[in-house]
Amino acid sequence: MIANSSGNYLTHGQWLRDVFGDEEVVLKGDTALLYLDIFEGFSDEDAITVYAKTPGRYTNVTYVLVPDFDSLDYQTVRGIRCSTPSQAFNDLLDDCQGAGDQVLTEGLADYYFENDKSFDGLFIKPEHTAVFERVKQHAMTFYQH
């Protein structure tokens, strides 16, 4: 079964609450940033990534299976479990492999400008520091171009 796309809703938050209102998942990476309004996303978004304890029912959702949610840094926001910004950015950095992609750069730019031009609230894992330092330089100037 395919989950609805975001184009059927006014906001990404409404979309994700409708899709996962009754499932035990934690929104992951770019999906978490969408839900937290840290990344604006794309129109008619339909790809979703979550942490889950069991495989889910949707074919357009990537279910990253974990034994439990204890090792994740997450919060419940408007009724949905969602990775914190730090967890979401570390998830994206795990997948980044050295090159700053669009979601990571835009998400960090939004975070930076929404937090008074600061990244102070983020905890970035030591193994991601070098890539984070490179990408954050682009993020700090992203909206100035």
pLDDT tens for each residue of 112-125: 999 999 999 999 99
Name the β-bridge partners of 49: 62
Task: State the pLDDT confidence band at 100, using cuts at 50, 70 and 90.
Answer: very low
Q: What is the pTM of this model?
A: 0.89
pLDDT tens for each residue of 51-94: 999 998 888 899 999 999 999 999 999 989 999 999 999 999 98
Q: Which alpha helices (H) appear in the chain, and where do they start and end? A: 12-20, 29-35, 85-96, 102-114, 129-141
Can you tell me the distance from the alpha carbon of 132 to that of 85, in angstroms, rounded to the nearest whole number?
A: 14
Contact 125, 88 (CB under 8 A): no
